[in-house]
Amino acid sequence: MRIALLTDIHANIEALDACIAAAEAAHVDAWVCLGDLVGYGPDPTAVIERIVGLRARGAVVIQGNHDEAAAAETAAMSEKARLAIDWTRARLSADERRFLRELPLEARDQDRLYVHASANDPAEWHYVDAPSTAGASLAATDARFTFCGHTHLPALYHALPGRAPTYFRPLADKPVPLSRLRRHVVVVGSVGQPRDRDPRACWGLFDTADSSIAMRRVPYDVDETMRKIKAAGLPEWLADRLAMGR
């Protein structure tokens, strides 16, 4: 089975549509959205509509911290993120906010765990950004594979039983086999706001046949998304960072 993993879409419909088209062209059998559908970007409603459509086709959809914040009345966030969240909240219908509010924090499917940030205290939104934080996540679950997002930086952490995890930076479009002897945390790169200096949208392709993961990169019409962010009156940096991928 081939599973498409989408995370940190951040209301970027151009990037999401490019990833969905690429995943369909890659003949995926299942879809997982790891959260942060909204926040930062100019098209929250269109993105929610697309994800609702995927869920109707069986997709697993997980809640991210921006989804929680946009659905709630107030939230603790950085100033730029909060500006964008207030902007987003004002544009969402009651139904859309309920959709975001009712998303689960995690989901388990056989040996796979899906969570937005980290398996330990998912509602605390810990970043898995180092072997130590990956170790904390691994310690909180017995799943062989934990798939998450939140950092916007594609990463693989793997650990032999009783050993500390080690880090590998996956290369674009190169599948990496995930060893049977180890447990893994797969941090999928961001669809709508990549921060690894590669401005292309990122989605994950997990193939259960050989337990391999590839971070697929897809160019999209970034100029259009930047134009919309500026036209919406959102902070300019949110547009500029898309061109730089950071």
Partner 1 sequence: MQDLATGRIIDGFTLGERLPSGGMGSIWRATRADVDFPMILKIPFLDPGQDVSTIVGFEVEEMIMKRLEGPHVPRFVAAGDLAEIPYIAMEFVTGRSLEGEMKQAPYSWQTVAIYGAQIATALAALHRQKVVHLDLKPGNIILADRGAVLIDFGLAHHEELPDLLAEESSIPMGTPAYISPEQVLGDRTNPASDIFALGCILYEMATGEKPYGEPTSKAGMQRRLYHAPVPPRSHSRDIPRWLQEVMLKCMEIDPARRYATASQVLFDLRNPEQVVLTSRADQEAEAGGWRKLVKALVPGGKTPPPIQPSIAARISGAALVLAAVDLSSGVDTLAEEVRLHVARVLEAEKGARLACLTVLKTKLAGEDTLADASGRSVYVNRLVALKDWARPLRLSDARVSFHVVEALDPAAAILNYAGHNDVDHIVMGARASSALRRHLGSVSAQVVAEALCAVTVVRLKRQEEADAARPVPYRPKLIPTGA
Of 116, 200, 216, 228, the one binding partner 1 (CB under 8 A) is 200
Which residue, 22 or 54, is less far from partner 1 as judged by CB? 22
By CB under 8 A, is residue 132 in contact with partner 1?
no
Among 69-77, 94-102, 106-114, 216-224, the segment contacting partner 1 (CB under 8 A): 216-224
**Least distance to partner 1, CB of residue 22, Å:** 9
How near is the Cβ of 140 to partner 1 at its closest, in Å?
Answer: 23
Q: What is the dihedral of CA 136, 65, 69, 243, to 10 degrees?
A: 140
Residue 177 binds to partner 1 (criterion: CB under 8 A)? yes
Q: How far apart are CA 38 and CA 64, in angstroms?
A: 9
227 binds partner 1 (CB under 8 A): no
Q: Residue 60 and residue 91: Cα distance in Å, rounded?
A: 25
Q: Does 181 bind partner 1 (CB under 8 A)?
A: yes
Considering the rule CB under 8 A, would residue 185 count as an interface residue with partner 1? no
Count of residues interacting with partner 1 (CB under 8 A): 17
Q: Which residues contact partner 1 (rule: CB under 8 A)?
A: 156, 158, 160, 166, 168, 171, 174, 176-177, 179-181, 199-200, 219-221
